[in-house]
Amino acid sequence: MLVTRYGNECIKPFLDPFTRIQDVSKEYIDSFLNTLCYFYPDFIGDYFKLFITALQRVSYEYLRTKG
C-alpha cells in the first residue's frame, strides 16, 4: 500500500484529480462541446457530457468516503 510505503504525503496528490474534476463548470463543458461538435457528430458531445457528469458524481462520492 502506498501510504505504508511513502507515508501520508502521497494521499493529497492521489486525491487531487478527484477534487479538480469538481471544479470543471457546466459552462466550460458546454463551450468545449460546442467546439467539439464542429468536428464530430453531436452524439459524441452528448456522450462526453454524460461521461463528465458521471465522473464528477462518482468522484464526489469517492471523496466523501475518504474525507
pLDDT for the residue 5: 80
Nearest C-alpha neighbor of 25 from the set 48, 46, 52, 47: 52
Q: Is the pLDDT of residue 12 over 90?
A: no
27: which 3 cell numbers?
Answer: 459552462
CA distances from 61 to 3, 48, 54, 66 (A): 21, 20, 11, 9
Each domain of the chain, given as residue ranges in start order, spans: 18-66
pLDDT for the residue 13: 83
What's the pLDDT tens digit per position in 15-59? 898 889 989 999 999 998 888 888 989 899 899 999 999 999 999
Given pLDDT bands bounded at 50, 70 and 90, which one contains residue 1? Answer: low
